Amino acid sequence: MRIAINCRSILLSQRTGIGRYTYHLIDALGRIDPANDYILHAPKGIFDFKRRLPDFSDYKNLQRYPDYFNQGISRYDVYHFPCPDEMGTFSGKLVVTIHDLIYKAYPQAHTPQTIALTEKFMQGIAAKADQIICISENTRRDLHRYFDIPEAKSTVVYNGVDHTMFYPLSDQQRQQAQEDLKNQLGIMGPFMLFVGTIEPRKNLGGLLEAFALLKSKKIFEGQLVIAGMEGWMMQGLGELVQRLNIEQDILFAGFVSDVQLRQLYNRAEIFVFPSLYEGFGFPILEAFCCGAAVVTSSTSSCGEVAADAALAVDPQDPKAMAEAMERILTDATFKASLQQAGLKRAQEFSFEKTARNTLDVYRRLVNHA
């Protein structure tokens, strides 16, 4: 087969969920599938020097194609869009990965312009895609709830997790991590952790309220570290921190490197991910890989990904969230059982498995053409 993959999402070095998925999918396909030919299609401006295709030169069957003049792709068996985009015209089989339907299920998280653009992309996908990969059962249910698409046209392929980047540190590495986090991020003692883009659906307001409840009981004297880029519609977050009187206890770390992220997951007393809606939830698995005890939402895909390896709570209930954190802090045996369950759950996910299942989608389409 000759397979083209759209690489728009991996042209910047700072990658969030979709970029991570695309990069690791391509890397894993390069490892497991030397038999087929791949072209990495990267639409970009000729003078856009900030956007660059990563180096996949270790894999001889991955050909780079920086498309400076938007000429598009032709004469390939399959063209895979790793996220919704403008479909254009293509004579082969079209595959699109849908990560979430947040703009439908939780429209208040987006601007009207974003909703309109995403709807345009999704209508094109519904009309043209030969197969739609959904990264969770929750996303697949949403796809068929909101669009009149035959169920045979969708397949669930779970994301993987990078086990070479996220893993438990040795005692010596943990000590070094403590020093690094102090010197680089200003983390002075024990902390809880949140990771994600700062935007409404991540439910940081609820997390701050739960954290304030916990602090008021004098159970935890450390900080809440919030690691992630600023998104949108969160102008009132600082005011909430002040109103809750926890300014000294909150540390906004901003975007952190993968190495810092691994150290944060390893050193966190608890990882809390109370998102109102997720298509998958990469940080849950990353935290599991590092041996963190996790509190997450019982809604959308968070409970699906975490299974029984985390404490799942109603994200709209700060009191329940605070009680879950308190249980982990005060019951060492229970915390240890959660950590072991998380490590075990993480082993069920890998990008090699993601790549093999994605390759099966390509083969089914081409063989049944």
Phi-psi region of 232 (alpha: psi -120 to 50; beta: other; left: phi over 0): beta
State the pLDDT confidence band at 243, using cuts at 50, 70 and 90. very high
pLDDT higher than 60, residue 233: no
357 in a structural domain: yes
The number of CA neighbours under 13 Å toward the Cβ of 267 is 26
* Type of residue numbered 305: V
67 in the same domain as 33: yes
- pLDDT exceeds 80 at position 271: yes
Q: Backbone phi, then psi, for 43, in 5-degree steps?
A: -65, 120
Q: Which 8-state DSSP code applies to residue 92?
A: S
Mean pLDDT of the chain: 93
Q: Output the pLDDT for position 171.
A: 97
The CATH number of the domain holding residue 324 is 3.40.50.2000
User: Can you read off the two tokens belonging to residue 184?
Assistant: 């680089």
87 and 148 share one domain: yes
Asked if residue 242 and residue 193 are part of one domain, the reply reads yes
To the question of pTM greater than 0.85 for the whole model, the response is yes
Examine residue 165 and state whether it is found in any structural domain, yes or no.
no
Q: What is the mean pLDDT of residues 258-277?
A: 97
Q: How many domains does the chain have?
A: 2
Q: Are 284 and 309 in contact (CB under 8 A)?
A: no
Could you report the per-residue pLDDT of 273-291, keeping only the tens digit for each? 999 999 999 999 999 999 9
Write down how long the chain is.
369
Q: What is the largest CA-CA distance in the chain?
A: 65
Bridge partners for 230 per DSSP: 198
Helix (H, G, I), strand (E, B) or coil at 295: strand
pLDDT of residue 90: 81
Closest by Cα among 243, 254, 253 to 208: 243
Q: Is 212 exposed, middle or buried (0-12, 13-18, 19+ CB in 10 A)?
A: buried
Tens-place pLDDT, residues 189-230: 999 999 998 888 899 999 999 999 999 999 899 999 999 887
In this structure, the strands spanning 154-156 and 250-254 are: unpaired
Find where tokens 């909703």 sit: 115
Q: Give me the helix-helix angle, 17-32 and 351-367, nearest 10°.
A: 70
Q: Are 279 and 301 in contact (CB under 8 A)?
A: yes
Is the pLDDT at 350 greater than 90, yes or no?
Answer: yes
Same domain, 116 and 179: no
Residues 154 and 80 both lie in one domain:
yes
- Looking at the fold, whether 288 and 336 belong to one and the same domain comes out as yes
List, in sequence order, the alpha helices (H) in 277-331.
282-289, 302-306, 318-330
| Closest C-alpha to 158, from 188, 143, 186, 138 | 138
Q: Which residue has better confidence, 258 or 230?
A: 258
The Cα 69–Cα 62 span in angstroms is 21
Return left, alpha or beta for 281; rule: phi > 0 is left, psi -120 to 50 is alpha, else beta: left
Domain annotation covers residue 37: yes
| pLDDT at residue 12, rounded to an integer | 81
Residues 6 and 65 in one domain: yes
Residue 257 tokens, joined: 């490197």
Does 68 map to a domain? yes
Q: Does 66 score more than 90 pLDDT?
A: no
The mean per-residue pLDDT over the stretch 222-249 comes to 85
Residue 304 resides in a domain:
yes
pLDDT at 268 over 90: yes
Same domain, 240 and 127: no
Task: Check whether residue 60 and residue 125 sit in a common domain.
Answer: yes
User: Does residue 166 sit within a domain?
Assistant: no
Host domain of residue 279: 171-346
Residue 32 has, within 13 A of its CA and on its CB side, a CA count of 17
Q: What is the pLDDT of residue 49?
A: 67
Q: Please give the pLDDT value at position 172.
A: 98
Phi and psi at residue 134, to the nearest 5°: -110, 140
| Residues 264/227, Cβ–Cβ less than 8 Å | yes
Share of the chain above pLDDT 70, in %: 98
SS3 86: coil
Domain identity same for 219 and 336? yes
**96 and 80 in one domain?**
yes
Residue 256: pLDDT above 60? Answer: yes
Over residues 32-54, the pLDDT tens digits come to 999 999 999 988 777 676 778 88
Q: Which residues pair with 37 in a beta bridge?
A: 2
List pLDDT tens digits, range 148-167.
Answer: 999 999 999 999 999 999 99
Task: Tell me the pLDDT band of 98, cut-offs 50, 70 and 90.
Answer: very high
Distance CA 83, CA 99 (A): 7
Side chain identity, residue 227: A
Are residues 51 and 191 located together in one domain of the fold? no
Supply the pLDDT for residue 71: 77
